[in-house]
Structures are given as structure tokens and as C-alpha cells.
Structure 1
């Protein structure tokens, strides 16, 4: 669906930022609530930053695409690491997006609103020679070039949000473990182009952080999950309001926990519940007693 360009140029733009729905382990009450919010409030667009499914199975994709197609607003969808086929290696390597066919017009789609563009950045790959498993991010040179070309083609003065699945943090702070390959350089060139923020998912807790790069600051906004795979916060999504050069983020959740209590202060390695003393935990501290199931 095309964005509603009847918006006046100076009007604040409201986006809903969803991520990590994980059909297969979806939270039905959270999904029903999010869908009702979208239907009632009609945000100007919805950005879904990946992991629509749990294991990229056909029934999971069918449920996910039916849910997304029922949203009567413009939608852009990023591909998450859980959305690449796990068990069909032929499809994984030669047709990794085949199961998105029902919403192919939304996948990695650029959305244009008055004075604002949402530009995709691919961080999910079919394989990574540097490591195994392949769940963390990699911004390839090709993916980065495509994103930068899309930004550079925009009219001068257009505000830009980047939509990606993985946070761009390249190294874990405590020991330098590799997280998103080529993340540091990507953050630098996005900061140089004065990107307003990078929207991402993957870790299942919300955050709103500013990274200081060699080429300037870059705001990083992460959405939580709408699945049963919670990390340290209840299921949530972000309401993002862009008013001129200002961005306001509200982490909305069924338990009405304040935004400040929902957001972690550093990017963790993955979506698993924090089990070590130095792992980031949101102030609400809703850590499940055991790790969520994976099936």
C-alpha cells in the first residue's frame, strides 16, 4: 500500500515500529492488541524489522503474511535471520525470499512520506564464512551500497530513517565478540549522511541509544517482541513520532509499563534472557525464569 501523501509537509508523522513477531511462538494477545491499535489509530506507516516467523516454515509464513496483509496502512518489512529457510537448504541458498511471495511488494520496500523516507538496510545473509551459526548480522558491501544509493537519490533535505533487522553494534563491549559484521563502518557512513535513526529488532528488548561514531552521532532505536520469546520486558512495539528534526519514542506494551522502564541501556548479543550479571536488563526486569521454548 502506498503511503498517504495527503499529509501536510509540516505535520508530525507517526510510525509504529514492530519487530520479532515470530509466528510459531507468537503471543496471540499481543498481536491482537497491536492489530487493534493499528486499526483504531491509523499510523502513517508501519515498519516491521524482521523475524516474522520462528523457523521459516510454510504455515508460519502463511499466518504472518495474512496478519500483515490485513493491516490497512503502508507497511515495509525487513527480513530477519529466522525468516530464511532452516531446513530447505536449496531454498536457503537459491531462493531465500520465496516464502515472502504473498507480501513481496512490502519486503525491503522504501516508504516515502512528506519530507521523510524509510530506507531498508539488509543485515541478514544466507551464510557467513566468518562464523557459525549465522544468526547475527552482516552488512555486506553490496547491501550497504544499495542503501547509500537509495539515500543519495532522495531530494535534498529529506529526513531518513533506516530499517534493518540487526542492531549495527559490531563488537560486544565486554570482550569484543563479533556481533554485526561491518557494523562500525555502516554506522559511520549513515552518521555522515545525517540519518535520523536506525530502526532494528533482533534482541527482543526495546532501546533508544545514540552511538558516537568517528563521523558523528547516530541514533539507534530498537523494538521489542510481540512473541512469547521475551528477554527482560513484556511484549511491546514502538510508537515513533517525527516532528521536524525531533523523534519521540514510546515503548507501548499491554502491561502499561513506562517507556523508561522498558528500554535497555546497551545492545546485548542476542534475544536470549539475560543470565549473566553483566548482561543488560531493562528496569522493569521481567526476565522469564527459564529460557523460552524454541520449536
Structure 2
């Protein structure tokens, strides 16, 4: 069994400071094999916010990979956003915007969907999708992680990232099994699966881990326990105004039939 923890939308600079310690404690207790951090580590991409996010992530003992979100690109410094949008991020987290890692027979591959020229919307670049496809393991479980979703439900009022639909089709055809995303600060799994849009890809849209925006209702992260074609998914939530994380909500999924089904 391989345990992958998905942590996204931390928003350091506009985050629940009191939840930092409970979040780190819960992560340590779960003992994940790998932590995938899905962007928006900061609220405005400022060097001090990036440094604080780096300090927080350094306290996680498990191996981790991280990638930028749209909030990690400079918003007000138009010169930096145009010519060197990821310079400060790279200084804090290393040169790669699309890291890869593996744990057991699970491969986790990042896609950078942040688009400095369309700050919020995002863009899925064909070349990055191609690199993910090139590293698919046909005998294992393949996970793509990015900030922007590849599909959105009708209730979402944000524009879908450019080329998202095409990227999802390409990755499904190539054998990507799971897509992890954030950005919307709203959980979605079963409703996306029910659309039948990409039945061989389980899309897990995880809410914000630390953002202090009251309308988000709760902070949360996901833990995936993967064994062959079976997945046990834990949703860990900390209600706004509370002091920590409640017991997780648990669901099971299987792709033994060739498509994902809740079991």
C-alpha cells in the first residue's frame, strides 16, 4: 500500500496561523510516503511569503514535491510577472516547476498550469502533458498533479484553464489514472465521476489547506491509500473557527473494471 498526501492552496500571507501546528501534526501522524503540494503556496507570491511557506514545508518529514499556482506569480509587479514570473518561486523551492517522484508502484508527475499572462485562469501546456505521458508506467498507478482543474462542474463560476479538456483526454488515453488539483477551494470527486466525462481518470479536486477566507467554510487535505487498482480516499477537514481537524471522511474507489467506480 502506498500513501500519497495531497496538500494544496496554503496561501501563506493570508492563512490560518493557528492551524499550522495541527496540520503538521496530522500529516506526521498519517506517515505518508509522499506529499504532493499543488500550488498557491502563497497569497501574493512575495519573497517573505515564499520563505514562510518553505519553512513550513521543511517541517514535513515525508518526501514531497511542489509546483506553483497562480497566486505564486507576482500580481502587482508587472515587470516581474512578464519577464521572470517564477524567479522568486524557483529561489525558494528549486529550479523545477514540474517535478516527478515515485513511491512504491505509484508515479506522481507535476504539471505547471500557472499562466503569468492570464493570472487567474491558467493554461495547460501541450509539452508538459507530453512529458507526463512519456513517464506513464503501464503496470503501476500514474498520478498527475497540477493547480488548475481539468474539468469543472456547472456551479463553478471561474473559467476553465486553457487546453484543459484536451489535456484530460490525452492523459486518459495514455494511462494516467488520477488527477489531483486545487485552485477552486472546493472539494469535488464523486460529482465529477458521475459526469462520465473521463471515466478512466479519477479527478480529485481538493480544497484549501490553510487559506483564512471565511467563505471556504473549512480547510482540508486528502490522503490517498493506493493498492493495485484499489483506492481508499480520506478527506481531512478543519472547520473555520475550530481548533483542528475532525475525523476524516472515507470513501473507496476501484478501477479493476477498467473505469473508476465508487465501492
TM-score bracket, shorter-length normalisation: 0.7 to 0.9
Residue in 1 aligned with 2:125? 140
Superposition RMSD in Å: 2.5
Kindly indicate whether residue 141 of structure 2 is the aligned counterpart of residue 159 of structure 1: yes
SS at match of 2:76: coil
Deviations 1:108-167 (A, max 9, x none): 310111211001122111114xxxxx302211223322322333xx4x413100100011
Residue in 2 aligned with 1:90? 79
Quick check: 2:74–2:85 contact (8 Å CA) kept in 1?
A: yes
Determine the C-alpha separation between the residues in 2 that align with 1:175 and 1:53.
Answer: 22
SS at match of 1:65: helix
Kindly indicate whether residue 165 of structure 2 is the aligned counterpart of residue 181 of structure 1: no
Quick check: 1:236–1:252 contact (8 Å CA) kept in 2?
A: yes
For structure 2, the residue ranges without an aligned partner over 5 or more in a row are: 240-245, 251-263
For structure 1, the residue ranges without an aligned partner over 5 or more in a row are: 1-11, 129-133, 261-295
Cα 1:37–1:175 shift into 2, 3 Å: closer
Determine the C-alpha separation between the residues in 2 that align with 1:176 and 1:69.
Answer: 35
* Length-normalised TM-score, structure 2: 0.82
Task: Give 1:105 shift.
Answer: 6.0
Task: Give 1:191 shift.
Answer: 1.2
Residue in 2 aligned with 1:168? 150
Determine the C-alpha separation between the residues in 2 that align with 1:26 and 1:162.
Answer: 26
Residue in 2 aligned with 1:36? 25
Determine the C-alpha separation between the residues in 2 that align with 1:204 and 1:254.
Answer: 13
Kindly indicate whether residue 4 of structure 2 is the aligned counterpart of residue 19 of structure 1: no
Cα 1:93–1:21 shift into 2, 3 Å: same
SS at match of 2:50: helix
Q: Paired residue for 1:45, among 34, 50, 53? A: 34
Determine the C-alpha separation between the residues in 1 that align with 2:177 and 2:202.
Answer: 7
Quick check: 1:212–1:218 contact (8 Å CA) kept in 2?
A: no
Cα 1:199–1:88 shift into 2, 3 Å: same
Residue in 2 aligned with 1:124? 114
Quick check: 1:20–1:201 contact (8 Å CA) kept in 2?
A: yes
Cα 1:35–1:107 shift into 2, 3 Å: farther
Task: Give 1:39 shift.
Answer: 2.6
* Length-normalised TM-score, structure 1: 0.74
